[in-house]
Structure 1
Amino acid sequence: MATSNEISSECNDSTLIKLNGSNNIAEDDDYDKKYFYNTKELNLSNYKLLNSPKFHNQLNDLVTLDLSNNNICDLPESICLLKKLEYLIIDDNNIQRISIDLNELEKLKELSISNNGLTELPLNMEKLQKLEILNLSNNKLQSLPNSWAKMNNLLTLDISMNLFIQIPNCLREGMSKLAFLNVSKNRNMNINGVIYSNNLKKFYAKNNGDVDSSFPKWIFSGKFSEIDELNFENTRFRTIKIPINNRKIQLKKLNLQQCKLYDTVIENLLINISSLEHLNIGNKDFMSTGNSFPVLPNSYVLNPEALKTINIAATGLADISKSIEAFTNLTEINIQQNYLSWLPEEICNLKKLQILIISNNNLIMLPKNLGSMISLKILDAANNHLSSLPSSISNLQNLEFMDLYQNYLTEIPKEIENLKNLKALDLELNHFDTDDIVLPISYSNLLYQSRIDKLDRGKGPVINENNSDSITSPSNLSSDTWSSAESIQEELHYNNHAILTEENWENPEDFADDFDPFNPPPIPPPKWETPCVFYENQFNFCPADLHPPRIKDVIAEARANGQLSPPLPIIEGQFDDAD
């Protein structure tokens, strides 16, 4: 890295730019011809500059200037000499106000001043008639100059992470070509003001918290016929009232995640939208601020065949209607962390579905025709109650990722061997040992690929080769992640090992004559491990999980798995000396 006395940057035409110790571009004639001729780009980011360098006429051809991530407090007047400059990036500095006149940069198309602590802005920037992108995010702004309403060629405006309390007047009165507006992370900002532009395609108002205003009615006022995306994630309105309008808006993406919505509200929204392609009405985590839908609101979607993705995770969903088969072009469904105990067979008619996320539910089985989903690439069914897989799953020849972590499987599903394109697989925390799994592809490699972003998961029980009844917990599994399978096996080891192993009546230690009823040997108290399943979602908790399983079921399962020998037959006269 260059020192503070000499900073260099190599441009697209291999021209070398240097600064001397005072942050001035060198000025001698020979140096001009050698280094500055035809320079188009200059990158001076990440050099810890305290002051912006002084620019001279030698940089007349400069198109892009990047001064981001320094300690610059103000811009020099000499920057206005860069008459051909189109892209100016001064993010991540200490600029609180711009004291120079930027209007002389007549060809400027993009200006980014993010994360600077700006508190005020120049009044006459409306003369920058070629400016298309303006990024003012992460500053301390409370308003924009009214004169900016004349910036009629501006297409993108980002004022997120500031201190705005309402839509600025310049947006209500002008900026007629604005297509993308981002007002996210302006806490409690009232966004119900009318936007003047008729060309709005994207509107972001994410993470604004509890807004003391109603949902922006101007969106459904009939002014906008086509919008690409509306994003209100984690923004909660006091009321949501949609004006009566026979004209539906054509919207591609709608994000209402964690917005404290319920059935009636989402119905009023969806019936006013046509051609919706991506719908996110789920929650990241269920809480008092989250959405709540006991039933998938698919009946409210006007054109179900247009929908491609849907997210309704962690909303208390308990049922999925058979009418889901109407969404013939769905490619992704995320319904994890809900109350679902079954899926309708009609879901298997979604031939274009590529991603099915159903983890953290109460599913006891999968649809028998699951193999009909011929396009399926990702199947995430972790943390359910699955004890088997449908045989048709072997038809999923496009399946690449399958997660069956922490279920009730008692043996390795044979259908997995036929999945030739499988690249990631997790079978841990089921009722069998995974150490010696034989698959066409190394299971350890499949497991590694499935856990790249799930490093907090543990490994299943390990069976000791010297004693099939002895079960040890792996060192990489923490004490607070016991599965129900491990609890049952531990209980079996502690409580039944002594009485269920084969007796040896020829052993003198087993003779009844040596038993002293007045001085019996001490009997250690049984050690119980309460079988409790820890789920990522509170919806999956069941009080029955706190009860120990019936010993009859434990013994039957252990014998079925070959962990216990069958009971010995009773020999006639075996207990004749019991008197």
Structure 2
Amino acid sequence: MPFNFKKKLNQVQIVMKHLITTVLLLLFSALLFAQKGNVYTSLENALQNPNKVYELNLSGQKLESIPASIGQFSKLEKLDLHNNSITELPAAICNLQHLRWLNISFNKLKRLPANIGNLNALEYLNTHSNELESLPNSFTKLNALKTLNLYYNHLDSLNSDFGNLSNLRQLYLNSNPLKALPSSFSQLKNLSLLNLSFNRINYVLTDFQDLEQLDSLIIISCHLRFIPKEITQIKSLTYLNLQANEIQVIPEAIQNLEHLEELIMQDNPITTIHPNIGSLSKLSLLNLSDYNYNLVAEIPASLTNLKELKVLQICGLGLKKIPDFIFDMEQLEIIDIKYNNFKKVPKSVKKLVHLKRFDFRSEKIVERQNKNVQKWLPNTEINALNERSDQMQKVLKALMKAADNKKE
């Protein structure tokens, strides 16, 4: 077959054209990336080229207001205004159609702009530590929002259509005077983390079982008197923190949380723990401690069924002896059992061959016992000093150091 020079030349030209196009695209992308990587920290400097500003950081500049000129940054994607003294945001901020990330935490805002719902691209909003008393009606139009932090404001209710924020993944509502959640809350199908701590919600009105993606639920210090059945129906949960409530019973229904990996019940006056807690086959951390020294009736031996359990914390429960079954849980890596009433640690503790840390501080434990445990568990970090002994040790070290200094 004769060599077709013209055809070959055309092929080379096509390849070169593609190559040149690719190089130009790469150069353009690099230039754009360089521009996006440029963080402006001065509003005055940024306004000199408003169409080239992608990130603006005005945090910690003691600002009391933001000018309407903020609306000129048509390509702005990230705006950080946290740690100022801003009392009001200009309406022009709602014109930032490309804004994806907004941090206005630690200011003095009592309200958000009425048209904040116009920020169609907004994915992250942090309003932590302001004085917000309500959210504007347009707020629930922020359909792209994935992370919302409303921590430490003055919100006593949420918009009735709050559930329209259908893309929300993480929601922090802690430290507000909230009394209830709207019925639409169950529409937040993509929610994976919810923090309701330090509110006035002492009962649950929403059907949490509809939140099929929820894996982390935190309700600290909300005066809950029992674990609501709505919580035990969230089968997707892997992390549940109900610390510092008024819960007395861990119910039979706890077994429904079949994917639970961490359960924190610290500082609740628990008197009854249902044996079904041993059904939580994926549990790796269990904290039942109570530093208010309420006495738990019994810790069920069914805990031995928790083959994945690595961390067990049962401090301040008034235990007169360490439950024998604990020494059969050889997979344990951390045991925190301090401030109980037992006087000795049995030799069977030797069976805990994987133990990395063992804290059994108690006024009742004698020094000889401490040495025995250290001998039985040579590869384990031991914390056995009670507070009085600890203070004496510190005083002794200080005296020895002072004596050494005098010698010098």
Task: State the match for 1:459 in structure 2.
Answer: 389
Native 8 Å contact 1:281 1:291 kept in 2: no
Query: Against the structure 1 CA distance between its residues 197 and 65, is the aligned structure 2 distance closer, same or farther, given a 3 Å change threshold?
Result: same
Q: Structure 1 residues 341, 205: CA separation in 2 closer, same or farther (over 3 Å shift)?
A: closer
* Corresponding position of 2:229: 268
- Residue among 181, 195, 198 paired with 1:207: 198
Name 2:354's counterpart in structure 1.
398
The 5 Å alignment of 1:273-352 reads 273-283=234-244, 290-293=245-248, 295-297=249-251, 299-303=252-256, 305-318=258-271, 320=273, 322-337=275-290, 338-340=294-296, 343-352=299-308
- Separation (CA, whole Å) in 2 of partners of 1:94 and 1:280: 33
Q: If you compute each CA radius of gyration, which structure gives the higher value, 1 or 2?
A: 1
Pair 1:120–1:296, CA change in 2 (3 A):
closer
Shift of 1:107: 1.7
Q: 1:384 to 1:200 in 2, by over 3 A?
A: closer
CA contact (8 A) 1:71 1:93 kept: yes
Secondary structure, aligned partner of 2:303: helix
In the alignment of these two chains, the number of paired residues is 358
Amino acid of the residue matched to residue 306 of structure 1? H
Contact 2:73 2:96 (C-alpha < 8 Å) held by counterparts:
yes
Q: CA deviation at 1:100?
A: 5.1
The AA in structure 1 aligned to 2:199 is N
Deviation at 1:59, TM superposition (A): 6.2
Asked whether 1:178 is paired with 2:184, we answer no
2:184 match: secondary structure? coil
Structure 2: distance between partners of 1:217 and 1:81: 42
Equivalent residue letter for 2:219: F
- CA RMSD between the two structures: 3.4
| Structure 1 residue 146: Cα displacement | 2.1
1:279–1:101 Cα change, 3 Å: closer
Shift of 1:395: 2.6
Return the alpha-carbon distance in structure 2 between the equivalents of residues 107 and 316 of structure 1. 50
Distance 1:322 1:151 in 2: 45
Question: CA 1:167–1:218 in structure 2 vs 1: closer, same or farther (change >3 Å)?
Answer: farther
Report matched runs for 1:170-569 at 5 Å: 171=162, 174-195=164-185, 197-209=188-200, 215-219=204-208, 222=210, 224-235=211-222, 259-262=223-226, 266=227, 268-270=229-231, 272-283=233-244, 290-293=245-248, 295-297=249-251, 299-303=252-256, 305-318=258-271, 320=273, 322-337=275-290, 338-340=294-296, 343-410=299-366, 411-412=368-369, 414-423=372-381, 425-429=382-386, 457-459=387-389
Q: How many Å separate the matches in 2 of 1:474 and 1:420?
A: 24
- 1:110 positional shift: 0.7
Q: Report the secondary structure of 1:126's partner residue.
A: helix
C-alpha deviation, 1:130, in angstroms: 1.3
* Inter-CA distance 40–278: structure 2 relative to 1 (3 Å threshold): closer
Higher relative contact order (CA 8 A, sep 6+): 2
* Counterparts of 2:289 and 2:238, CA distance in 1: 20
Change (3 A) 1:234 1:271: closer
Superposed CA deviations along residues 207-266 of structure 1, whole A, max 9, x for unmatched, are 12367xx6333545x5x433233333223xxxxxxxxxxxxxxxxxxxxxxx2313xxx3
Q: 1:370 to 1:215 in 2, by over 3 A?
A: closer
Counterpart of 1:215, as a letter, is: V
Distance 1:418 1:67, change over 3 A: same
**1:384 alignment partner AA:** N
1:197–1:361 distance in 2 versus 1, CA, 3 Å:
closer
Residue in 2 aligned with 1:87? 78
SS at match of 1:359: coil
**Secondary structure, counterpart of 1:269 in structure 2:** helix
Give, in angstroms, the shift of residue 165 of structure 1. Answer: 2.8
Taking the aligned partners of 1:408 and 1:81, their CA distance within structure 2 comes to 69
In the aligned structure 2, how far is the partner of 1:427 from the partner of 1:169? Answer: 53
Closer/same/farther in 2, CA of residues 314 and 112 from structure 1, 3 Å limit: closer
Q: Distance in 1 between matches of 2:299 and 2:36?
A: 62
In structure 2, the partner of 1:562 is none
Q: Following the alignment from structure 2 to structure 1, what is the Cα–Cα distance between the partners of residues 394 and 86? A: 55
Greater helix share, structure number: 2
- Counterparts of 1:63-212 in structure 2, within 5 Å, are 63-99=54-90, 101-168=92-159, 171=162, 174-195=164-185, 197-209=188-200
Gap regions ≥5 residues in structure 2: 1-33, 397-408
Q: TM-score, normalised by structure 2?
A: 0.74
1:178 CA drift (Å)? 3.1
CA-CA distance at 1:53 after TM superposition: 2.9
TM-score (structure 1 length as normaliser): 0.54
Corresponding letter in the other structure for 2:261:
K
User: Whole-Å Cα distance in 1 between the matches of residues 395 and 316 of structure 2?
Assistant: 25
Q: Percent identity?
A: 24
**1:387 partner amino acid:** K
3-state SS of 1:147 partner = helix
1:10 counterpart residue number = none
Structure 1 residues 7-26: aligned runs within 5 Å: none
Inter-partner Cα distance in structure 1 for 2:308 and 2:271: 24
